Structure 1
Amino acid sequence: MHDSSAKKSLLIISRQAPWAGPSAREALDIALAGGAFDLPIGVLFLDDGVFQLLPAQHAGAVQQKDLSANLQALPLFGVESLYAARRSLEERGLSAAPLSLTVECLEDAALSVLIDRYDQVITL
């Protein structure tokens, strides 16, 4: 018997660089809102989304808001399942870079397993 009151888990796949428009901020806003409502949420940084994990973003230079405070707030809102695609990091020369958040780096095969674990997936 399926309990319809069970909380649905949500994976947010953030694929945009922080300076590429509002998508990165929207992904973080959804994660923070869901965390505030105690939903089981994960965030996967994929493709250019891995650029969000770099410290010392100079967002003002491209007339965007700095997302580092939003990123640092994720664990405070109970969003602790944070992942990055290893290939995305490697393709952008970031595999050895210090990241602003602790994330679990996943190989390609593990990405599909991760996505299948969640009830709902949003890609921004």
Structure 2
Amino acid sequence: MAQSLLIISRQAPWSGPSAREALDIVLAGGAFDLPVGLLFLDDGVFQLARHQDARAVQQKDLSANLQALGLFGIDDVFACGHSLSARGLPPPDNAQALDSQAISRLIDRYDQVITL
């Protein structure tokens, strides 16, 4: 049986390559039918914000990658509820908001955890 993998994305979408790398790892795992989950934590929740303009910071838009998660069999997408509220973001449509206890249980469910 394949080992399950949780990717924790903690970086804002335009603060460096970490956000894109996290999504790339998740999509690659999905392409190989690995059980993969994705958790947005801290500034990583900004990746879920609607109506971002990547051109303003001369970057490639990550929203297409987020929309492709379901096509790659990635249904376990989560966001830290505290991180969302601390940054004034509404609950996302494309991720399940979790409290800190639920996040602890989530991390325990996975065999491997990578934080970017």
| SS of aligned partner of 2:78 | strand
Which one of 23, 38, 46 corresponds to residue 43 of structure 1? 38
CA RMSD of aligned residues (A): 1.0
Correspondence for 1:120 = 112
Spell out the pairing of 1:86-105 with structure 2 (5 A cutoff): 86-94=81-89, 96=90, 99=92, 101-105=93-97
Structure 1 gap segments, 5+ residues each: 1-5
Which one of 93, 100, 106 corresponds to residue 108 of structure 1? 100
- Percent identity between the aligned chains? 69
Greater shift after overlay, 111-120 or 56-65? 56-65
Matched letter for residue 114 of structure 1: L
Answer with 1 or 2: which has the greater Rg. Answer: 1
TM-score, L = length of structure 2:
0.96
- In the TM superposition, residue 51 of structure 1 has moved relative to its aligned partner by 0.5
Matched letter for residue 18 of structure 1: P
Number of corresponding residues: 116
